[in-house]
Structures are given as structure tokens and as C-alpha cells.
Structure 1
Amino acid sequence: MVYDCKDLVITHGFCDLHTHFREPGREDKETLQTGSMAAMAGGFTRVCVMPNTDPPLDTPEAMNFIQERSSSCPVHIHPIGAVSKGQKGKDLTEMGLMKEMGAVAFSDDGLPIQDGSVMRRALEYANMLNVPIINHAEDEYLRADGVMNEGIVSTRLGLPGNP
């Protein structure tokens, strides 16, 4: 069989490095199955799920949960483990064991780690494990109560801005 592909784009399947499927805990929003179906419909064959679920993906058992639950999904699902326990930015997770159970990266997605010594240790471990840290780079003290980007417009509107 021959397909006429004139004016079409043919590519390999895409990989989404930042998805929020919300399982476990918020299956009312998205499950691994429904999220992977949507990903497949958009041309994605691999997705990485972020750890800000309820509970967070912060243990080796959570990595195993994702691996087992996603085995029947139509796309490959790779868990991203939390950097810190409970995503609280204080104590590091068991990154080595989590990698062994399938974690492809680590992040406290949406919650910036404010303690520089915690981030330094996380980066050192990630380097040893040869996995990336996906950091939500934001200083909560600088951000304060900003509601928009800091600049001429925020000043003109009288709204607090974020640098």
C-alpha cells in the first residue's frame, strides 16, 4: 500500500516532559488512562508525570505504583519523583531507590525549594544518579504577593509585581 503524504508532516511520536495526570489522589481531574489517551490523540507516545499528586510521588512505592498502573496505558508513562518528602523542601526523598523503581527525573513541581543546602544536596545526588532535577526556580521572598510581572505596567496599575 502507498500513502500520498504530500503536504503532510511525518514525525516520530512526541514526548511530553511535564504532564499532570493527577493519579493518585485526584482521579476526578485526570487518570493515567485518560491522560495517556489524550496524549496519544495529540501524537505523544511518551509522557513524564509530575509528582504533585495526592499523596506526592515521593517514595519508591509511588514509582512502582505508576509503573504498574500505567502498564496497560497506550503510551509510555515515566514518573518524575519528588525531590523532597511531601514536597516540603526540607528532607530529600530516597532518590537512588526511586530511580531504581523508574524515576526518570526529580522535581518539587510548583513548589520552589527555598533552602539552598537542600537544593545543593539534591543536585549532588542527581549528578551521581545521572538524572535531571526539574526546578521550579522562584524565590518566595522576592515574589511576595505579586500578581503580575514587575514593571511599568504593574506600577501604572498600582499592582504588586513579581521581579
Structure 2
Amino acid sequence: MASPSLLKTFLILSATLALATPSFADNILYTDERLNPGQSLTYGTYFLIMQKDCNLVLYEMSQTIWSTKSNGKGQNCYLTIQRDGNLVIYTGSNVPIWATDTGKYKGDFVLVLQKDRNLVIYGPAYWHTGTLTAGSTLNLSIAGNYSTGPYVVNRDHNISMVTDHSEK
């Protein structure tokens, strides 16, 4: 029987096989990462940019689709997704000027610019049935070198690896 950490590694590696290209993370912002002035997330013709005027704007080519309307409210602003799931724009002095007010749960989260141009925050699973039977077999195929972490994201899907196997 495979050890739990080996099984976890196999799950992570096999799930990443579904990723289309090595640049899959161009549309993802991970917990505690920053989108600094001039940086953007992209997916096809869509891009989300943290502008130098502190406005976070979603564009389709050159057309504005959505914005935080936070322009002029600070300097050297950056966007981050916190460990509580709150997506926040901070000034260079670390003063919040805009937030999604989604800071409810602790965990690792990702902001994803999806192919439908929707911005979505994904995070920890909050509930599951727990109905996987003991001794279930997972068929895995592994190829290539992949980095591990708490999430594997494939543009529209989020796979969360659970490592708590405590008995009741």
C-alpha cells in the first residue's frame, strides 16, 4: 500500500497532466501573491490589470468590462488574495482601499480569470459527503516534473488535496 504522502504526490502530479501549457498560471493569482502596478492576469483576449492609478480593471482587448473604480485612491497599489479569502487592493503604505469582503474562512485561495471572462475566487472545500469507501483504487498516470502545493488548477477546475486522515 502506498504511503499517504506518496499518494498525495501522485494525485497532484496526475492532476497536473490535464494542464494545457506550462503558462497555465498566467490567469491565476495565488494566496499572498501580489499583482503590482502594471502587472496583469491574462486569458486569451481578456486581461485583468492593476493599473498605476490604483484601479483594477478587466479588459477584453481594449474595452473595459469591469473595474474596482479605485483610481486615484492611493499610490503604488497592489492586489492580493489573503489567507482568509478576501481579495484586497492595498496602497503602497498597506492601507486597504477596496475589497471583496469575502474574508470568512482560513485557507489557501486562488483568484482565477476564467475563459468566460469571469473572475472567481476558489478556496478550501467547506463540506463534503465523505462517502469514498476505504480501499478505493485510484488509477494514476505520471509523467514529467511538477511542483506540488495545496492546489492544482486547470483553468476552470480546482482540485483540493486533503491530508487529514484522522480516525474517529
TM over 0.5: no
TM-score for the superposition, normalised by structure 2? 0.24
**Greater Rg, structure 1 or structure 2?**
1
- Higher RCO, 1 vs 2 (CA within 8 Å, ≥6 residues apart): 2
TM-score for the superposition, normalised by structure 1? 0.24
* Higher strand fraction (1 or 2): 2
